[in-house]
A and B are shown apart, each in its own frame.
Chain A
């Protein structure tokens, strides 16, 4: 399998649940990103990992916790979310400092 793969594609969770989103890339990239996409808003950069180190956290609430165990995998752990966290969560990868981002298809998250 090539490209950037995100699982699950859809997720419905209650506010007290704990769940994780998974992202996997097979492109030989060494930087990975989480973006949040809400309707009528720009894509919001949440986290940046470069060479497996978190290099940016854009003031994201602590109920979102990223993990990058290696350069091919990225997780977003979710707990005690709010309904306003419902959105499409996109993972992307690139070469560190590079310009060519490749995005996954996203996980559509609904918090009830």
Chain B
């Protein structure tokens, strides 16, 4: 059973455009939602994270939008750059458990 569903699997965006990646979850026990960025040959690195009591969190060009009632959250990358080309994973954590459950990943390619 896929607990965190992520889409799209791949995404191509022009430089300067907005990249949007979506995730949905079922388990209401999740209470922390991080996004990870992974470059080829590297492990995932924490990019930005949000708790469900907040509807939006912004850090630089990266924004998480969170819809608790719909059990959905999304990552927006504004002014996308070729250096943003990577695989992005959404994840969710059970309350107080610290166990990360990952989505399938989205391979983002930003064209110059």
Contacts and interface: CB of A to CB of B under 8 A. Distances in A.
Interface in A9-68: 31, 40-43, 45, 48, 56
Given A40-B9, A104-B43, A105-B43, A97 B102 contact: no
User: How many residues of B sit at the interface, in one of the four size bands?
Assistant: 20 to 34
Contacts of A100: 46
A56 B99 contact: yes
A45 B93 contact: no
Interface of A: 4, 31, 40-43, 45, 48, 56, 90, 92, 94, 96-106
Contacts of B43: 4, 90, 92, 103-106
A97 B32 CA distance: 12
A101 B103 contact: no
B42 A43 contact: no
A97 B96 CA distance: 6
B49 interface: yes
Given A43-B102, A94-B98, A99 B42 contact: no
B52 interface: no
B86 to A, nearest CB: 14
B112 interface: no
Contacts of B2: 42
19 contacts: A4-B43, A40-B104, A41-B104, A42-B2, A42-B6, A42-B103, A42-B105, A45-B99, A48-B99, A90-B43, A92-B43, A92-B100, A94-B98, A98-B98, A99-B32, A101-B46, A101-B100, A105-B41, A105-B43
